[in-house]
Amino acid sequence: MLGAIDRNAEKWALLVFYTMLVVTMAVEVLRREIFSYSSIWGEEIVRYSFIYLAWIGAAAAVKERAHIRIDVIFNYVPPRVKSLLYIFGDLVMLIIAVFSLWLSFEKVGVSWEFGSVTHGLRVDKVWFLMAVPIGFTLMIFRLVQSLLRDLKDFRDGTPVYEGAKLFD
């Protein structure tokens, strides 16, 4: 079961938030065009679903090595150097993610302390601001997995996992 969660956690979360975004947006467009009425809560649901989509999607991209990178140099270096470059990139990204996670808790803490709520839904903003720490936590988890995989590949002398290529 843990293997299934590891393979599909981001996919299922992305599916939930994307479905919520599309359905809410469709309902709001129909309400606006047919009934000449729209709600503020629909806009908020779409906005916060999109924010969660972005952060969870970033973690999914880290997992699959699908994030944007300049990899032209990887075509001209031997496999061992390529592994070291991927390890270096993951370490730099891990440092940035840990620092960003630490910074993101400040905003969440302020919202928690003062009890700020959203304008339309009247729900604690903490639930929506938590998208950033959740996203960075998932990224850190996936970066640690990637580092362990890359170190094992480097030790064993096997080719490093490069992720799916967009164009070949």
| Model confidence pLDDT, tens digit, residues 49-87 | 999 999 999 998 888 888 777 777 888 888 888 899 999
Return the percentage of the chain with pLDDT > 70, whole number: 97
pLDDT in the model for residue 161: 85
Domain membership of residue 142 (yes or no) is: yes
Residue 97 burial (CB count, 10 A): 23
Does residue 164 lie within any of the structural domains?
Answer: no
- The torsion of the CA quartet 138, 134, 16, 113, rounded to 10 degrees, works out to 170
Token representation of residue 59: 């973690």
Region 95-99 average pLDDT: 96
User: Does residue 163 lie in a domain region?
Assistant: no
Higher pLDDT, 107 or 26: 26
The pLDDT assigned to 167 comes to 55
Range(s) of the domain holding residue 38: 2-156
Average pLDDT in the chain: 88
* Domain contains 109: yes
Q: Please check the confidence at residue 168 and state whether its pLDDT lies above 60.
A: no
Residue 162 within a domain: no
pLDDT over 90 at 130, yes or no: yes
Beta carbons within 10 angstroms of residue 152's beta carbon: 11
Is residue 155 predicted with pLDDT exceeding 60? yes
Distance CA 104, CA 100 (A): 6
Examine residue 34 and state whether it is found in any structural domain, yes or no: yes
User: How far, in Å, are 28, 103, 110, 168 from residue 41 at the CA level?
Assistant: 10, 28, 23, 43
Which residues have a Cβ under 8 Å from the Cβ of 18 and sit 6 or more positions away?
49, 53
Q: How does pLDDT run across 4-29, given as a tens digit for each residue?
A: 787 888 899 999 999 999 999 999 99
* 3-class DSSP state of 121: coil
pLDDT confidence of 164, banded at 50, 70, 90?
Answer: low
Sequence-ordered list of residues with C-beta below 8 angstroms from that of 82, at least 6 positions apart, any chain: 74, 160
Task: Report CA 164 to chain centroid distance, whole Å.
Answer: 17
Q: Does residue 165 belong to any structural domain of this protein?
A: no
What percent of the chain has a predicted confidence (pLDDT) above 90?
Answer: 49
Structure confidence at residue 166 (pLDDT):
52
Provide the terminal-to-terminal Cα distance of the chain, rounded to the nearest Å.
Answer: 34
pLDDT of 97 > 90? The answer is yes
- Number of structural domains (the chain) is 1
| Residue 111, pLDDT above cutoff 90 | no
Contacts of 33 by beta carbon, 8 Å cutoff, 6+ apart: none
Q: State the CB neighbour count (10 A cutoff) for residue 63.
A: 22
Q: Distances in Å between the alpha carbon of 68 and those of 17, 58, 104?
A: 22, 10, 22
* Residue 144 tokens, joined: 């640690």
Structural domain includes residue 112: yes
Of 8 and 151, which is predicted with more confidence? 151
